[in-house]
Structure 1
Amino acid sequence: MRYRVAWYGLLLSAVMNIVLGALLWHGGRQEPTANLYFMDGEGENWTVINYKVVMDQEQIKRGEAGLRYIGSKAIDQSDYYAIEVIEDNETVYNTIHTSQGGPVGIYENLGNFGSITAPLGADDIKPERTSLENTIVQITWKDNQGEIHSEQIPMSITDEITI
């Protein structure tokens, strides 16, 4: 009788360990809830610094990058510039700044060119790292003489965080 109680106790202990182990195994492995990508790029006239893409299961946010003008033509009196972000040959963000009768203040606006947040619907394809690696920032601007220039800057992922 004593062996039977010990046997049942040992069997119950083994079953509990298996159940507890399975719960810990599955409970400890959670799917990532958000991805954050940091990207940089440099062209002949412009540098894009710290472009961000944040994705979770419900939405995606792109932008908040800084720009640095490294070109040689003066642009402090420019009355036009536009920024377009192209991801895998599709425009995902654009902004246009223009003024009449004075400069648009390019230098004052380069710290953060803005951002856009969009919901991810059930039918939307969530961008992956491979599509983000094909991101281009296109900048079009007028110099002080009114000549229009355009440059495409290929972006590279510099850091990735999964939460």
Structure 2
Amino acid sequence: MLIRDASAQDWAGVWPFFRAIVAAGETFPYALDLDSDAGRAIWYVDAPNRTVVALDDDGTVVGTAKMNNNRDGNGAHVASASYMVDPAHAGRGIGRALCEHSLDWAREAGFRAMQFNAVVETNVHAVKLYRSLGFAVVGTVPESFRHPREGYVGLHVMHRYL
């Protein structure tokens, strides 16, 4: 698997699974009916932040991540990131590779920590992955995410020092 900076042309490979993940309404707080342009505007971030894609051996986009400072100004020393893996390629270590890649990027860019502001507590695979990489739940905002099957569930704030 290759992880590299995303190009404008890569969006055609990202959009189908991005749309499906967002429309499912289980893990991201985005509008369920985002169109391609709105999705790209959310996901593709400007330098010095990064958007990357993960490619399989055939060059197919199988995952993506965006990495950025969590806040501007006095909070700019903390990084954040978001990840999406094509569900057809789940369970192959793509999410872990993207997360490790973003941690390396944040360290090299001089960030002191990484924080995820809104990890849906029912997203047990993501929570387990992040914990295995040293993140801790530092708080949970109750009932702040409307899950399509579970109803109102909490959002974890997860953090780790770099």
TM-score, normalised relative to structure 1: 0.26
TM-score, normalised relative to structure 2: 0.26
Q: Which protein is richer in helix relative to its size?
A: 2
Larger-Rg structure:
1
